[in-house]
Amino acid sequence: MESTVKLNLGELSSKLRSELAEELKDNIILAKLAEDEVGDVRCAVAGNSSTSKSCLAKLAEDEVRDVRCVVARNNNTSKSCLTKLAEDEDWHVRQAAARNRNTLNSDLTKLAEDEVWDVRCAVAGNSNTLKSDLSKLAGDEKRWVRCNVAQNRNTSKPDLTKLARDKEEYVRTYVASNPNTLKSDLSKLSKDKNADVRASVAANQSTTESVLKKLAQDSDEEVRAQVGGNPYAPEAVLSTLAKDEDLGVRLTVAGNTKTPQYDLSMLAEDAIEDVRAAVAGNLSTLEADMTRLVDDEAWEVRYALAGNIYAPKACRLKLAEDENEMVKEMALKILKVTGTE
């Protein structure tokens, strides 16, 4: 049996062996492929979630850096193996280990002081990194490290408050998007001179209604668009934004399931087909409006309606005979999934 496996594998091209190494679940064959002379094949084995821990441990000592990197990224790699990879001489491997959610906290603590900022950045983005380590990294000289700390859900509120005052707009933008950021900090960031920061506050579901009301009047259309897509925006705000002159704003409002139905009815008649398509795909759209949209001249609108699981059966049956093949296929697919063929 063993010689047969060797013979069969030897007759295959390296490309095919790589494809097998990516997809197979047979540990015996994967172990054979782990000894392949071609590095790409061994890389494929290293990335396979079915590869055994013992096989991954051997590949962790591979002479090819990329193979070790892939082992370090594999969620099936043992903690002891990750500890070894966290001390690898090549920083690319250490970076991969720093990103792995199974890497020990003690190893992440060491990697948080790595001389290469790319490694520290990976630690800052790991959801299992200790708050104490994130606190240290919040003061890192490299902005991208601080950016990852700012978006990490495990970062403490005091550190987020500190980063909310960061000189770099990128850092403040990530703080503004973090749902754990204090409402008082979000309020301050809503007045930031940078539009991207304000837009992130507008999209944050932790932002208060009073702040969203102010941002709905922002001079920047992207900020208003983010308010329009926020499910926690007040209905009165969404009604106002439904009439916004900017297409992007109306588009997000049309796709928001919290938009008042009378506003969705109005947007269902918008001159721009993308807006009507957003309404057609909205799960909160009234059946009466869906019935009107089933005859829309734009196939994109009908396609969106065909994919709406809340569309009336009569609409889906009609769309299943649509002249556009994509619309027809989508309607038939949903009919099958919902059992209403």
- Low-confidence stretches of the chain (pLDDT < 70) are 1-7, 339-341
CATH number of the domain bearing residue 303: 1.25.10
Residue 83 lies in a domain: no
Interhelix angle 65-73/91-99, nearest 10 degrees: 10
Residue ending a domain, choose from 77, 106, 126: 77
Residue 250 lies in a domain: no
Residue 176 lies in a domain: no
**Cβ-contact 95, 122 below 8 angstroms:** yes
Residue ending a domain, choose from 22, 43, 77: 77
Q: What pLDDT is attached to residue 56?
A: 97
Residue ending a domain, choose from 77, 104, 136: 77
Calpha distance 221→227 (Å, rounded): 10
What does pTM read for this prediction? 0.88
Q: What pLDDT is attached to residue 341?
A: 60
Calpha distance 71→78 (Å, rounded): 10
What is the count of structural domains for the chain?
2
Residue 67 lies in a domain: yes
**Cβ-contact 97, 75 below 8 angstroms:** no
- 333 burial via Cβ count (<10 Å: 0-12, 13-18, 19+): middle
Residue span of the structural domain in which 37 resides? 1-77
Q: What pLDDT is attached to residue 340?
A: 64
